[in-house]
Structure 1
Amino acid sequence: MKQALEEAAATGTDVQDHDHHGIKQVLHDLGIEAHNAAWSTGLTWGGAQNGNTRTITSTTDGRTIGTVALATAEDYEQVVQKAQEAFKTWRLMPAPKRGEIVRQIGNKLREYKDSLGKLVSYEMGKILQEGLGEVQEMIDICDFAVGLSRQLHGFTMHSERPAHRMYEQYHPLGVVGIISAFNFPVAVWSWNAMLAAVCGDTCIWKPSEKTPLTAVAVQHIIRDVLRENELPEGIFNLIIGDAEIGAKMAADTRVPLVSATGSTRMGKKVGEVVGARLGRALLELGGNNAIILTEHADLGIAIPGIVFGAVGTAGQRCTTTRRLIIHESIFEDVKARLLKIYPNLPIGHPLQEGTLVGPLIDQDAVQSFTKALAAVQAEGGQLLIGGEILSGAGYETGTYVKPALVEARNEYHTVQEETFAPILYLIKYSGGVENAIDTQNGVRQGLSSSIFTVNMREAEAFLSHAGSDCGIANVNIGTSGAEIGGAFGGEKETGGGRESGSDAWRVYMRRQTNTINYSTQLPLAQGIKFDV
């Protein structure tokens, strides 16, 4: 720890000492210190003195934001035990009362929206409006969960036996492990944690090691609510660590549900380990999302949706538009329109007003970007624009790139893979909409999809049994920007999990069928006779 702090100080670029874009005040408001503890059980922090630390620098300007201690195996054990203990109390609180706690958390997030949104932007690199939007998403899911706390409905059904009643009910499940990714460092946690909370579960949050400080900030915010309501430790827990901590959580039989967001490669490992112990894995993994433009598309609304979907969050959304499947009759027109827009995209510091495209998260992401462009061109793809790494004043980190347009074919190996960067592949199709749908479905991922058309038959075909095979299918809107009211998730290598709205809450509970005999007889089902 001492060495990490000395190294950070030696750089002379610590935002604790340089109030850059008002970040110093933001860190103060959110309780972020020069060095931050490794874990929290809601009211207590620990592990600050652990020898293993990580220095967190902003991808926007390379400045050190702070350091975090990394949790040990002993830390993890302590947190799990606290979560188990708290579950025994939390599950017995009436669901509407749990909803009241979540309501208060939502109000606290409203108070800190500007500061937290700014930290999300600065630590992760998304533009400020997206950072603020992510916090708003947290607020929205709190509101949703409050209403849900009075609607955890079971079912009733008629028994075949006289004087019997049958029904189903849902009970709290237990400790829920949440592994979140860097690109939505706080919102995805809230999708899981707020629903799990009203369902009566306790949570352990392992944030991405690339963006842990926003998680520390959230834990400080909800701590006030826990104190004000005299709640026990262990309801909302945080543990900061490397892949080893995530592996422990996946293998832990005391954690009946692990919700993991990230790459398909990571999800397969988590799913295999959780499945081996017959636990539940809620997986939100890679996407290779496509927009179909038929010859009947309204390009006036399609083009803005395409551009935001392709370059928003610098292409680092799981719902980013990666493939644009265009009817041959409008292909050249669409290409020309995009080539007119792309040179004028404002690329720069995400906290600078007017910026639309911020940096990639780190140098590994930049390398993936450049390697993918080299590979697709080697396969025969044509780079139309973009692909450069920006340098000079304001771009010293080497993480700012120019979004790329590539004319390609769907069968290229590179196009079949998800590159978490702003690359949009332009793919031409001919014939009817069924050909475009086949192309869209012709990848291993199945998260988000979209079609732009004013032709009702094309739209309905896209949404039919033979249409999009994705978990999200939109008409005349892009692939990004899902609302919290609907269940979020996808099929195939996207993992099959569902978070957020609709009836996604059911995965956080255990289902029970009950039969009550209020007669003086004991009739058996199916008319079986058994005399003793």
Structure 2
Amino acid sequence: MGSRGACIFKHQAYINGKWLNALSGKKFPVSNPANGLKIGEVPDMNKEDTLHAIAAAKESFKEWQNVPAKERSKYLRKWFELIDKSSEDIAKLMTAENGKPLIEAKAEVAYGAGYIEWFAEEAKRIYGEVAPRPSNTREMVFFREPIGVVGLITPWNFPMAMLTRKAAAALAAGCTCVARPAEDTPLTALALAALAEEAGLPKGVFNVVTSSAHHAAEIGKALCESEDVAGISFTGSTAVGKILYQQCAGTVKRLALELGGNAPFMVFDSADIEKAVEGVMASKFRNSGQTCVASNRILVQETVFDEFVKALSKRIEKMLVVGDGLDCGVNQGPLANEKQLVKVESLVKDAVNKGAKVVIGGKQHKLGGLFYEPTVLTNIDEQMECFNEEIFGPVCLCIRFKTEADAIEMANNTRRGLAGYFFSNDYQQIWRVARKLQTGIVGVNEGIISSVEAPFGGIKESGFGREGSHHGIDEYTHVKYVTFGGLNY
């Protein structure tokens, strides 16, 4: 690492402005998925530690909510600048614990930091309203106020960006945070905490509780059931999201869920096939397919199906280099953990047993470990588990369709509704399909759809709430209506 690497490489959790071990004294290891080697150890915290963090956040909220927006903006701006200065070291740390190629880690650092920069500005634009008075004796104003302490539960696939797009919006709104990063990637979150401390954020405003998978459920439950926590923002699986949804019911708290996807990627016969292939490469193989907006079902019109599959397979074989993300030239890292490998292998095996054809790949990579070959499957039908389940791996399912109506019906035939993509050069078709797709996000002739300026979120069982854009503030504020009576105009 560079000169600042030691400053951000932390092995303790961060609560109330202090670097702490678990009250139990227990720790758990963090390993590199590319080689299985231990990077370090961090505190294995539990419910008791979490309640300590919640109490700290509650106390700090008393002051933080009253800090002028311009001052909150300055804190966030300073945090952003320090992250930018440490970007190379954060990226290397992320690759070591997550496995993604260094080039992707660098892109995530820039992307994640962008949310802090964005919400540093949005902090100054949380406007209220003055409504026309209903009579000559009254005035009405509406204020937007921070909701309070928020629990942030984040995944391993984007360990920085998934945290910053929540925390930056919450802090900008005047909320305080208790974050629980995924057990696979706690070091990136702790690096962010170290830089938040250096930026001067007051103690208790931003807290990071680390734990192994063993204590994940009790920490999540503690955050959901605490009367001192006003809101929960969670990114992760639909199954876990449903559990958190139930646990939040008792305190009727604010909830934002960004859950699993099953993204369709449609290629119509008017599309530029090479550009469509580029779109799949971008949307499917980033982070080895381990993204919630990864194209899961590639639906191709039958008149161009064979041409597309051939072009895609050639591009994969020519462009993708599998290996340790820290090695030069590598653009496909390992899967994140053993559970992911088992899942991908199981889905591919099920598909092949039910008649799918392996065009390329289809098995564990010759490097062994958690590496899996980039794969293209055809002859896919709706009875295969991979058609209905989020793969979260480097596997392309290529499926034929005849008509636009068939494609839309197939694309919408899922309980998930996060992202959808399609390529077409028919402008009338573009408007029709974009309107009819049942997803919160649509990419038209584009494979990269995430941006700090855009509202990110889904519908159906992909969750609710939006992150990023000016809408990201909405999850952390409520509207207070104040009426002034006894006036005489």
**TM-score with structure 1 length normalisation?**
0.87
Match of 1:400 in 2: 371
Runs of 5+ consecutive residues of structure 2 not aligned to the other structure: none
**Kept in 1: contact 2:365–2:372 (CA 8 A):** yes
Structure 2 residue 462 is the aligned partner of structure 1 residue 494: yes
Deviation at 1:73, TM superposition (A): 2.8
Mapped partners of 2:4, 2:71: distance in 1: 32
Residues 1:500 and 1:42: Cα distance change in structure 2 (over 3 Å):
farther
- Among 367, 371, 380, the alignment partner of 2:346 is 371
Bigger CA radius of gyration: 1
Superimposed CA distance per residue, residues 211-240 of structure 1 (whole angstroms, 9 cap, x where no aligned partner): 1111111111111112xxxx5310000101
Answer yes or no: is the 8 Å Cα contact 1:42–1:223 preserved in 2. no
Work out the CA distance in 2 between the residues paired with 1:82 and 1:364.
35
Whether 2:316 is the aligned partner of 1:351: answer no
Paired amino acid for 2:207:
N
Corresponding residue to 2:35 among 61, 64, 72: 61
Name 1:529's counterpart in structure 2: none
* Aligned equivalents of 1:157, 1:298: Cα separation in 2: 51
Task: Tell me what 2:6 maps to.
Answer: 28
C-alpha separation between the residues in 1 aligned to 2:116 and 2:183? Answer: 25
Aligned match for 2:453, one of 485, 509, 512: 485
Number of the residue aligned with 1:14: none
> Any conservation in 2 of the 1:298–1:454 contact (CA below 8 Å)?
yes
Partners of 2:422 and 2:9 in 1: CA distance: 45
Match of 2:121 among 115, 131, 147: 147
Shift in alpha-carbon separation, 1:253–1:498, aligned structure 2, 3 A: same
CA–CA distance in structure 1, aligned partners of residues 450 and 383 of structure 2:
28
In 2 relative to 1, CA 484–340 (structure 1 residues): closer, same or farther, beyond 3 Å? same
Q: How does 1:447-466 map to 2 (within 5 A)?
A: 447-464=418-435
Query: Counterpart amino acid of 1:447?
Result: L
CA shift at 1:300, angstroms? 2.5
Q: Map 1:66-105 onto structure 2 (within 5 A).
A: 66-105=40-79
Q: What is the CA distance between 1:371 and its match in structure 2?
A: 0.3
| AA aligned opposite 1:416 | N
Q: TM-score, normalised by structure 2?
A: 0.95
In structure 1, the residue matched to 2:130 is 156
Match of 1:420 among 392, 410, 414: 392
Among 289, 307, 316, the alignment partner of 2:290 is 316
CA contact (8 A) 1:99 1:198 kept: yes
Residue of structure 2 aligned with 1:232, choices 187, 202, 224 = 202
8 Å contact 1:289–1:446 — kept in the other structure?
yes
* Partner SS, residue 279 of structure 2: helix
- Which residue of 288, 291, 303 maps to 2:277? 303
Asked if the contact 2:453–2:469 (Cα under 8 Å) also holds between the matched residues in 1, the reply is: yes
Matched residues, number: 483
Distance 1:414 1:145 in 2: 38
Deviations 1:477-509 (A, max 9, x none): 02x441111111101111122111132211101
Higher relative contact order (CA 8 A, sep 6+): 2
Q: Which one of the candidate residues 95, 111, 114 is aligned to 1:121?
A: 95
* Counterpart residue number, 1:15: none
Aligned equivalent of 2:414, options 410, 428, 443: 443
Question: Which residue does the alignment assign to 2:258?
Answer: 284
Q: Which amino acid aligns with 1:206?
A: R
How far does the alpha carbon of each residue in 1:90-128 deviate from its partner, in whole angstroms, 9 at most, with x for none? 001111110110000000101110100111111101111
Amino acid at match of 2:209: I
Question: In the TM superposition, what is the alpha-carbon distance from 1:383 to its structure 2 partner?
Answer: 2.1
SS at match of 1:130: helix
Root mean square deviation, CA, Å: 1.7
Q: How does 1:211-230 map to 2 (within 5 A)?
A: 211-226=185-200
CA distance in 2, matches of 1:310, 1:519: 62
**Is the 2:120–2:172 Cα contact (8 Å) retained in structure 1?**
yes
CA distance, structure 2, for counterparts of residue 93 and residue 47 of structure 1: 30
Write the distance in 2 (CA, Å) between the matches of 1:491 and 1:457: 25
CA distance in 2, matches of 1:516, 1:380: 71
Q: How many Å apart are 1:412 and its aligned residue?
A: 3.2
Alpha-carbon shift at residue 454 of structure 1 (Å): 1.0
CA contact (8 A) 1:127 1:351 kept: yes
Q: 1:468 aligns with which of 431, 437, 446?
A: 437
- Tell me the SS of whatever aligns to 2:463: coil
* Distance across 1 between alignment mates of 2:419 and 2:470: 17
Distance of 1:172 and 1:413 partners within structure 2: 43
Q: Is the counterpart of residue 263 in structure 1 residue 241 in structure 2?
A: no
Distance in 2 of aligned mates of 1:194 and 1:359: 30
Deviation at 1:165, TM superposition (A): 1.9
Match of 1:381 in 2: 356
The one-letter code sitting in structure 2 at the alignment partner of 1:211 is T
Of 415, 422, 429, which residue of structure 1 is paired with 2:401? Answer: 429
User: Equivalents in 2 of 1:193, 1:340: separation in Å?
Assistant: 41
After superposition, the Cα gap between the structure-2 partners of 1:276 and 1:48, relative to the gap in structure 1 and judged at 3 Å, is closer
CA distance in 2, matches of 1:505, 1:54: 34
Q: Could you tell me which amino acid in structure 2 is paired with residue 422 of structure 1?
A: P
Q: Kindly indicate whether the alpha-carbon contact (under 8 Å) linking 2:152 and 2:179 is maintained by their aligned counterparts in 1.
A: yes
Specify the alignment match of 1:9 in structure 2.
none
| Kept in 2: contact 1:29–1:115 (CA 8 A) | no
How far apart are residue 337 of structure 1 and its match?
A: 0.7
Residues 23 and 49, structure 2, Cα contact 8 Å, conserved in 1: no
Report Cα offsets for 1:230-263 as digits up to 9, x if no partner: x531000010123121221121121111101111
Q: Which has the higher mean CA deviation after the structures are superposed, 92-101 or 49-58?
A: 49-58
Contact 2:301 2:401 in 1 (8 A): yes
Q: Is the 8 A contact 1:154 1:167 kept in 2?
A: yes
